[in-house]
Amino acid sequence: MTEILAADADGIARAAALLRGGGLVAFGTETVYGLGADATNAEAAARIFTAKGRPRFNPLICHYPDAEAAFADVSANAMAQRLAAVLWPGPLTLVLPRRTDCPVALLTTAGLDTLAVRVPAQDTALALLRAVGRPVAAPSANHSGLVSPTAAAHVLEELSGRIDAVLDSGPCAVGVESTVLDLCGAQPRLLRPGGATPEAIEALIGPVAHGAASGSIVRSPGMLASHYAPALPVRLRVRDVHPDEALLAFGPPLPEARVAFNMSERGDLTEAAARLFAGLRWLDAEAARLGLARIAVMPVPDTGLGLAINDRLRRAAAPRDR
């Protein structure tokens, strides 16, 4: 059952409690309705991908009540400070380097070393974010590939029964997603056009390069290449482990591995998704320490979240030129 919560003190308190407990709560922002989860909880983030039916793990935007909270999790440069001072709260998302002590789960950022942060201009959303007291990951609250919802009814049409609650704050004022601006490189880059205009941004920080015209930059191969890939080669769908391999296991581990990380001993795909990126990083470091040559990965079924896990593993195993 999906609860429909009013945008009053009780509704906000209930929504915050659900989020803090690892639940999924859709909430209105000035752009579109977001499907929220505690960004620091990898299993909650995994449930976002299940609910949306995403075929792959895209990095999620994290929402904060103010710039101070956002910039505690990312390193803000001078451009970020200037943009935030004028355009936040508002429909602008900034991609910045994660701080080393950033508590956001690796699955939330799809293993990237960067984090997209945003402070929405919507009073109910801000009150909710203050009440949660943790970053809230929220992609648009629709099935992957369908149009973004700008009213609670749209959210329910698609996601009723698949999420814990929707906080109904009425229709969204802007109606298109936030502008996504990457501030990690030498020049700022527009990754997705949206509610904040290039003119407003350029008036504050000067010329901005334009990313993939398609809008979602991570869909473009160039962006995919910057996803975290292990340093070691990866061998997929193994039935046996060689002596020079570290094992990424799923289900009961193969006995002969020198070092193993099990994504989910009970074979649960949500748990496995939540542990995938942390496991790859840990095995990479352990294998280097032990002088191993490769990471071997046990088969993961191609159903549900297994599709996204296998997509990510295939890219980790693909030939790369570095």
Q: How far is the CB of 264 from ligand TXA (least distance, A)?
A: 25
**Residue 112 interaction partner, one of ligand TXA, Mg ion, none, beta carbon < 5-8 Å per kind:** ligand TXA
Tell me how far, at minimum, the Cβ of 67 lies from ligand TXA, in Å: 16
Secondary structure class of 116 (helix, strand, coil): strand
Q: Shortest approach of Mg ion to residue 137 CB, angstroms?
A: 12
**Residue 179 binds: one of ligand TXA, Mg ion, none (C-beta under 5 to 8 A by kind):** none
Distances (CA, A) of 77 to 83, 229, 236, 246, 250: 10, 26, 40, 38, 40
The binder of 192, among ligand TXA, Mg ion, none, by C-beta within 5 to 8 A per type, is ligand TXA
Distance CA 125, CA 57 (A): 25
Looking at 96-104, 133-141, 165-173, 258-266, which segment touches Mg ion (CB under 5 A)?
Answer: 133-141
C-alpha distances in Å from residue 206, one per residue of 115, 185, 273, 276: 22, 14, 40, 39
Closest to ligand TXA by CB, 227 vs 294, is 227
Binding of Mg ion at residue 150 (CB under 5 A)?
A: no
The DSSP string of 43-57 is HHHHHHHHHHT-SS-
Are 92 and 83 in contact, with CB atoms under 8 Å apart?
yes
**Which chain residues interact with ligand TXA by CB under 6 A?**
29, 31-32, 34, 58-61, 93, 95, 109, 112, 114-116, 118, 120, 138-140, 177-178, 180, 191-192, 216-218
Burial letters 293-317, b for 16+ CB under 10 A, else e: ebbbbbebeeeebbbbbbebbebbb
Cβ distance to ligand TXA smaller for residue 91 or 297: 91
In the chain the first and final C-alpha atoms are separated, in Å, by: 49
If one asks whether residue 93 binds Mg ion (CB under 5 A), the answer comes out as no
Cα 16 from Cα 171, distance rounded (Å) = 20
140 contributes a contact to Mg ion by CB under 5 A: yes
Q: Residue 220 touches which of ligand TXA, Mg ion, none (CB < 5 to 8 A by kind)? A: none
Residue 40, interface with Mg ion (CB under 5 A)? no
- Between 61 and 272, name the residue whose CB sits nearer to ligand TXA: 61
Contacts with Mg ion by CB under 5 A lie at: 140
